[in-house]
Structure 1
Amino acid sequence: MAKESIKARERKREKLVARYAAKREALKKAEDWKGLDALPKNSSPVRLHNRCKLTGRPKGYMRRFGINRVTFREMASNGLIPGVTKSSW
């Protein structure tokens, strides 16, 4: 499990990206590169990293569910994810 400070940093970046999204888009359309430089670095969506919403694990992330593969497997086995069943053949 990731440290709480790492998860908090990522949440902070997500908020900044959401706050400055419209302003960033307007500056890009106007081609105001100096204005874009004046925005905070963490307001750029490129700086976001996909992390598991529950554990904060950065690897094995499944976009469709927002969690990592390990957590997904545990939750699917326990029947906590609707529509997902364990298959065998």
Structure 2
Amino acid sequence: MARKSWIQREKKRQKLEQKYHLIRRSSKNEISKVAEMSEKWKIHGKLQSPPRNSAPTRLHRRCLATGSARANYRHFELSGHILREMVHTCLLPGATRSSW
């Protein structure tokens, strides 16, 4: 189980990313349209003005059951050991079991 503070921090980052998404997208579009380097540097400064935690690269996928940020499967949104337990108890249809 992940710490609750980590999960809350991730939720805060998701809210910030949604808040500043349009600002980042519009700045990136402006940079691609402008030809002069001096103008690009000014727009780049605007792009750096939002908080760092609002960047989409700071977001992590987390397990729905435990909140763990490691070994997540995108299709199931579960971490590896929870996925394995659910497959062994036949809670996920279509998944084949393996034992080692």
Q: TM-score, normalised by structure 2?
A: 0.74
Show structure 1 runs of 5+ residues with no match.
none
Q: 2:50 aligns with which of 39, 57, 66?
A: 39
Equivalent position of 1:58 in the other structure = 69
Residue ranges of structure 2 left out of the alignment (5+ in a row): 32-42
Q: Could you say which residue in structure 2 is the equivalent of 1:11?
A: 11
**Aligned-residue RMSD, C-alpha:** 1.8
* Structure ranking higher in helix proportion: 2
Runs of 4+ aligned structure 1 residues displaced above 3 Å come to: none
CA distance in 2, matches of 1:11, 1:81: 27
Aligned-pair identity in percent equals: 40
Shift of 1:6: 0.5
Aligned equivalents of 1:76 and 1:15: distance in 2?
33
Shift of 1:3: 0.6
Q: Does 1:76 align with 2:99?
A: no
TM-score in terms of structure 1 length:
0.82
